[in-house]
Each structure stands twice: as structure tokens, then as C-alpha cells.
Amino acid sequence: MADTTKTIEIEVLRYRPEQDKEPFFQTYTVPFEDDWSVLQGLQYIKDDLDGTLSFRWSCRMAICGSCGMMIDGKPRLACRTFLRHYHPNKLRVGPLEHFPIERDLVVVVEDFIRKLESIKPYIIPKEPRKLEQGEYLQTPAQLEQFRQFSGCINCMLCYAACPQYGLDSKFTGPGVLALMHRYNADSRDGGRGERMALGHSEEGFWGCTAVTYCSEVCPKDVDPANAINQNKMGSAIDYFLRFVAPRGAGK
Amino acid sequence: MTRSNAPLVWSLFGAGGVLAALVGPALVFVTGIAVPAGILMSHDLMSYQRMFGFAQSWAGKIIILAVIVLFLWHAALRIFHMLHDFGIHPGVASKLICFGLPFLCTVAAFYWVLPI
Amino acid sequence: MSAQMDKRRPYVRSMNSWWKRDPFFVRYMVMEATSVLVALYAVILLVGLLRLSQGEAAFNGWLGALESGPSILLHVLILVVFLYHLWSWFKVMPKTLPMIFVNGKKLPADTITYTGVLLAVVVNLIVLIILV
Ligand code: SF4
Ligand code: FES
């Protein structure tokens, strides 16, 4: 029995703030099945090998966005990445890059949450609307303007892929700017004017240098690099036009 | 949030990037390889008389200025970003080097080509 | 709160040589580094312009410098860099354009890239043909 079970070595970056000066790798040997995700490997470690290991997870099906981590150096969802892809080699697991490490695989997310709130990620109606006016109607073309960007699960993989965020965390970063664009591009929304003060700033679209790795790692094909960079032309035009034309609302 | 002044250089960066892609390779091949080495093209193509005549026309002046100035500003923004990427973060020094020098070169290009 | 905060000691990792961490970053840095030779080429032309404005002897000196072996080798390198610029410029283009829909379908990124590259190749050839 035992000799037919495959095992894989998982090196986990550990950091326990109350006792470790700095993070270090700890290796665990984990027996696994072909359909085991990296998350299941970590759960095996926690349940059977070392109960002190900390990591975040919830849905196990790539929708809650909590299990993002660096897997062999790439930002990935642990529940969507399979151990068999790494076997017979070992694999390295670490907390998401560019965020401070809270503990083991858990990172500090306050900055991300604060930014997420700051862009008003909800529809701000253009004018008060009465119930009798009925629902908003949208054409398929209007839907396509934002549908892709609304798939974000706030997993922050794109932040771990963004050197500009790592170099200077004042930059709002890919995921949140993509969400800003998602609401700005929604025909039902009238909040663009409120959001674009940030958009036009160095902390907004202009902090991006088009590395585009964020779009590569996004598990939901949100393409944050496109959401950000397609705004630069408009922001530049607005920059020059504000001298010749009065600033219209919402532009 | 203060509005970024990035659009100033970014517009030139973009224009220079397009120009460098559309005509850059051909220009480099002609001015740096084909004519000097005499491959496919004759030395005459860049003779003093022809180039001087070219620079005398308004079209010639515009083309010369567009190529030199836009290429420079295109490179300037990327070098500025690169310094930041390597850990030399935006400051007076990096701005002086990345934007001051191309500015001087731009002034010089106008100063030299206009009287021709 | 404070007792809990005391246990927190967030560890901030260094960004030193971040660009070596992933081949994707290396490619990005190569793309950015093309700018150094683009700038150099612009400066070479700028010097040519200065020499042109100084008269025939000066300009011929510049032409002579261009004819040297090292200069031609350098320009071969610059040419390679410009070709890489051409490719990488249109590789990033799909990210910078607003989404384009044709018959309700989003135009694929590769279509944008290849159209751009094709356009640039044609324009470069036209320039060559005009000059020959
Ligand atoms: S844009 Fe993609 S990678 Fe970034 S947080 Fe949203 S789902 Fe995650
Ligand atoms: S556990 Fe929810 S996304 Fe992985």
C-alpha cells in the first residue's frame, strides 16, 4: 500500500512573528493523489504534520480569492494549482510577493482593502431613480464594455505580479484600477468624475509602466493591464483639453 | 490626489515609439549600415549637398526634428522608468538627467536645423 | 487591540533584483533597455545635424566616422534593437488600445499585434524603396 502512494516535497516559507527574525523555508513530505491541489497539500500538512502552519482559504473552487500565494515563484491560486504538475520535483510555496508577511503564507491586506474602498466599487446612479422607472436597460455592447473587468475576485495575484506596486505601494495597483474602470465603463454609472481624480494621478493609471504581467497571472482573465492602459490616452487628452475647454462633469 | 504631469512626456513617448517602429529600422539600416558600407545604396545618398538641400526644405526640417526629438523623448521616459525599476526613484536628479538632457537636445536640434 | 497589535510584526521583503525573479520581468527590462540604443541613435543623428550646420568638411568628418568598422557594427546592433522595439511595441499595443469589437466579438490581442507588425514592416519597406 504505502509504496504505491506518491509523495512530494513541499518547501513552505515560514514566518512566525513572535519567534522568527526572518522567514525561512521548511520542507514537508506530503503523500498525495493526482487530483490534489496545492491547497489540499497544505491542508494535509496542517492536519497531519504541523498544526502551526497558517494560510488562508475558503471556497476551494477559485472564486473566493483567498488562497493566492507564490507557487514556484508564480502568483497562483493554491486551490486551482495541482501537485501533479510539479511531481516528481519538489515545489516551493510562499506568501504573495509585494505584501508584508503577516504570518507564514498570510499577507497583510489592509492596504488593498483600503484602496478597494477608496474607488467606490459600486454603481453611483447618474440621477435619483424612482421605482416606477423600472430596471436599467443595457445593450450587449454596453455590457461588453465592462463585463470582463467585473470578473475580479480580489485575489491580489496581480499585485504580486506588479513590480510597480512592490516598488512603491502608493500605486493603487492593477486589480483595484481595473475595478475602477469596470464601474466607469458601466452605462448605468455616473461616478466617473468622482473616481477619476485618483485615475489621473501618479497613484492611479500613471503609476503603471505597462509591465503587463498582472494580466498574465489573473485567474479570471480580467486583463487589468488593458483596463489601466486604455485609460491613459483619455487621461492625456483630458490633461491637455482642460486648458482649452471647461471641465465637463463626469469626463 | 494631484493630477500627474505624466501626459506631457507620455505623449511624446508614444509618438516616438510609433515613429521608431514605423521608420526606425529602415532609417538605421540606411544611415548606419547601407550607405556607410556602400551596400545596396550609394554613398551619394547622404552626401553633404543632398543632406543640406534636404534640411533646407521645410519638409526636411520637420522630418529631421520629428525623428531626433521624438526618438529622444521616447527613450527618455523609458530610461526614467528604468532608473526607478533599478531603485533610483523619481527625484530631482533623475528628472534632470532623463528630461533635462532631452530638453537641451531638443533646443539644440531646433537651433541647428532652423538656420540651414 | 494593542495586545494583539504587539504580536504583529509584518515582515517586508526586499525588492532587490526583482526583475531577475521571472523571465517575464527580464523580457520587460529588455524592452525598456531598447531605449538606451534608441537614445544613442538619436544622439548620433543630432551630432550629424550639428556637423551639417557647420559646413561640408565637418559633415564629411561625421560621414567618415559612420564608415568605420565599429560604427557599422554598432549600427547593426542598433538595428536589431529597433527590430525588437518594433515587435515589442505592437506586442504591448493590445493592452493600450480600448477594446475593439468586430461584429460583437472582441478583437483578439494577436490580431492587433500582427496587424501592427505588418503595418510597420510595410511602412519601413516603403521608406527603403523611397530612399534607394
Ligand atoms: S484582477 Fe485578476 S488577479 Fe487581480 S485581484 Fe482581480 S481576479 Fe485577482
Ligand atoms: S480557496 Fe477560494 S479561491 Fe482558492
Which of B4, B11, B84 is closest, CB to CB, to A201?
A: B4
Contact C47/B at CB under 8 A: no
Residue A146: predicted pLDDT: 96
Range in B84-88, B99-103, B106-110, C121-125 with the lowest mean pLDDT:
B84-88
Global pTM value: 0.93
Residue B69, in any domain of the structure: yes
Residue A3 predicted with pLDDT over 60: no
The single-letter DSSP state of residue C38 is H
A154 CB within 6 A, ligand 1: yes
User: Which residue, A98, A64, A81, A74, is CA-closest to A216?
Assistant: A74
d(CA C118, CA C116): 5
Residue C27 predicted with pLDDT over 60: yes
Residue A250: predicted pLDDT: 43
Q: Give the domain range for residue B65.
A: 7-19+48-113
Task: Give residue ranges of C with CB < 8 Å to any A CB.
Answer: 7-13, 15, 18-19, 21-22, 24-25, 28, 32, 92, 94-99, 101, 104, 106
The mean pLDDT value for A163-169 works out to: 96
- In percent, the amount of chain C with pLDDT more than 90 equals 90
Whole-number average pLDDT of chain A: 94
**Contact check, Cβ <8 Å, C32/B78:** yes
The rounded Å distance from CA C109 to ligand 1 centre is: 19
pLDDT tier for residue B91 given thresholds of 50, 70 and 90: confident
The rounded Å distance from CA A237 to ligand 1 centre is: 28
Instruction: Report whether C75 contacts B28 (CB < 8 A).
Output: yes
Nearest ligand to the CA of A68 is 2
Question: CATH code at B82?
Answer: 1.20.1300.10
Residue A208 predicted with pLDDT over 70: yes
Residue A188 predicted with pLDDT over 50: yes
Residue C86: predicted pLDDT: 98
Amino acid present at B47: S
* Count of CB pairs separated by less than 8 Å, B with C: 152
pLDDT in tens, A112-125: 999 999 999 999 99
d(CA A168, CA A194): 24
User: What CATH code is assigned to C2-96?
Assistant: 1.20.1300.10
Which of C18, C32, C106 is closest, CB to CB, to A166?
A: C18
Residue B60, in any domain of the structure: yes
Residue A185: predicted pLDDT: 96
The mean pLDDT value for A201-207 works out to: 96
Residue B39, in any domain of the structure: no
Residue A248 predicted with pLDDT over 60: no
Residue B71, in any domain of the structure: yes
3-state class percentages of chain A: helix first, strand second, coil last, to nearest 5: 40, 15, 45
User: Which residue, A46, A44, A38, is CA-closest to A69?
Assistant: A38
Measuring from each residue's beta carbon to the nearest atom of ligand 2, which residues come in under 6 Å?
A 57-60, 62-67, 77, 79
pLDDT in tens, A20-43: 999 999 999 999 999 999 999 999
Cell numbers for C121, please give them. 514592416
pLDDT in tens, A52-110: 999 999 999 999 999 999 999 999 999 999 999 999 999 999 999 999 999 999 999 99
- Select the residue from B10, B35, B41, B71 to test the C interface by mutation, using most C Cβ atoms within 10 A: B71
Within 10 angstroms of residue A232's Cβ, the number of other Cβ atoms is 20
Cell numbers for A132, please give them. 416606477
* Residue A29, Cβ density class (10 Å: 0-12 exposed, 13-18 middle, ≥19 buried): exposed
Residue B81, in any domain of the structure: yes
The domain tally of chain B equals 1
d(CA A85, CA A229): 34
The rounded Å distance from CA C116 to ligand 1 centre is: 28
Residue C121: predicted pLDDT: 98
- What is residue A212's three-state secondary structure? coil
Whole-number average pLDDT of chain C: 94
Instruction: Report whether B109 contacts C44 (CB < 8 A).
Output: no
Which of A167, A198, A239 is closest, CB to CB, to B1?
A: A198
Contact C122/B at CB under 8 A: no
Q: What is the residue extent of each domain of chain C?
A: 2-96, 97-132
User: Which residue, C69, C113, C30, C132, is CA-closest to B29?
Assistant: C132
Residue B30, in any domain of the structure: no
Residue A241: predicted pLDDT: 92
- For A50, A243, B29, C46, C59, the CA distances from C43, given in Å and listed in that order, are 62, 33, 16, 5, 15
